[in-house]
Amino acid sequence: MNIDEITFYDRLLDYHNVLFLGHRNADPDAVSSAFALAEAFGGTVGVADHCGRVASMLVDHLKIDVEYAPDPSDYDFTVVVDTSTQSQLNDLVLGDYAVVDHHSVSQLLSGAQFYLHRYASSTAEIVVDILACMDAPVMERIALALMTGIITDTGHFKHAESGSFRAIADLIDRGGVSYSEALDLLAATPQDISMRISILESVNRVRTTMINDWILVTSETDSFGAAAATALTNIGADLSFVGMMDDGILKVSGRAKHDAVRCGINLGRVMRDVGVEYHGSGGGHAGAAGMEVEVPGGAETVLSRCVEESCRILAGVSRN
Ligand SMILES: [Mn+2]
C-alpha cells in the first residue's frame, strides 16, 4: 500500500528495533536517507554490502555507524531505502519490510507491508518531507548528509526538479547549515589517483575532428574509458569516443553534449551500427553509450568510424 509521509510516520511507530537498509555499493542518497530515518525514529543504519567512494567519505566524515551486510532477521522490521530490486540487496533475506524509494520502477513494493514511493530526483527529498511532517529537529549532520544525497543524485542539480531545490532550502533553514558546507564535504572525497592519471593521459592523446562548429574527439586509454570520455566533453568536446584495448577486445565509450543530441546525435544508435559492422555489439543512451568489438588491428579504425558516422549526421546541422 502506498502511503503518505504522515501515515508512514504513524505506521513506523508500531515497530521497535528497526533496520534502515540501503542498497549495495551504497551512494550518498541511500546512506543519508537511512541515516536520517534511523536518527529520527531510532534504529540501525545498514547497507547491503559496502559503501561506494563518496558514501564512504560521508560515513567517515559524519561518523555514521553503519552495519555492513546485516541480517534482517536480527531486527523486528526493515525499512529498505533508495532500492528498487532484490538484486541490489544481494542475497539478504527480508522479513517484514517497508520501502521508501524514488525509482520509477520498483520491484520491492509488492512484498512490502507498506511503502512510500513517489517520483522525486532523490530518496533524500522524500525523507526531508517525512522529517518535516514529524516536526523532527534536523541536526547539522543529518542536514549535511541529506544535502549530499540530493546533490549527487541530481548530478549537481543537472537533473533536479523544483522539489530538489525546496528540500535543499528546507535543510539549510532547519539544519542551520550552509550549502557551501555540503559542497566542501563532497570536495573532500579523494579521487582515485589512477583514474586521474588515465584521464590526463587520454587528454594528451586526443585527435580532433571539426565539422561545421562541432568538435569531435577520439582518444585511447588503458582504463577508466567512460570517465575519460565524460571528462573530454566537460573540457570542450561536443562528442568524445574513448577506446580501451584489452586482449584483442576493444571497448569504446562515447559521450555527447546535450546540444549534439538535440541536433540528431544518438550515440546508442551510432555504437550499435558501428558495433554490428565490426561483428560486436553496442548500444546505450543518446548522450552516453558503449560498444565492444573484437579488433586485431587496434582501436584507431573503429574510433574513426564512430567519428565518420557522427559527422554524417552533423554535416548539415549547425548548433544554432
Ligand atoms: Mn537515489
pTM of whole model > 0.85? no
Span from the CA of 150 to the centroid of ligand 1 (angstroms): 8
Calculate the dihedral angle through the C-alpha atoms of 80, 81, 86, 89, rounding to the nearest 10 degrees. Answer: -90
Span from the CA of 303 to the centroid of ligand 1 (angstroms): 34
Q: What domains lie within the chain, and their CATH numbers?
A: 5-187 (3.90.1640.10), 195-314 (3.10.310.40)
Q: Give the Cβ contact number of residue 187 at 10 Å.
A: 8
Span from the CA of 164 to the centroid of ligand 1 (angstroms): 12
Nearest Cα residue to 177 out of 146, 151, 150 = 146
Span from the CA of 123 to the centroid of ligand 1 (angstroms): 5
Which residues are within 8 A (CB) of 221 and not within 5 positions of it... i.e. 6 or more apart? 198, 199, 201, 202, 205, 228, 242, 243, 244
Span from the CA of 100 to the centroid of ligand 1 (angstroms): 10
114 DSSP β-pair partners: 98
**What is the rounded distance in angstroms from the CA atom of residue 294 to the CA atom of residue 153?**
35
- pLDDT tens for the chain, 320 residues long, are 888 999 999 999 999 999 999 999 999 999 999 999 999 999 999 999 999 989 999 999 999 999 999 999 999 999 999 998 888 899 899 999 999 999 877 889 999 999 999 989 999 999 999 999 998 889 999 999 999 999 999 888 988 899 999 999 999 999 999 999 999 999 877 778 898 999 999 999 999 999 999 999 999 999 999 889 999 999 999 999 999 998 889 999 999 999 999 999 999 999 999 999 999 988 877 888 889 999 987 899 999 999 999 999 999 887 76
Span from the CA of 175 to the centroid of ligand 1 (angstroms): 21
φ and ψ of 252, to 5 deg: -120, 130
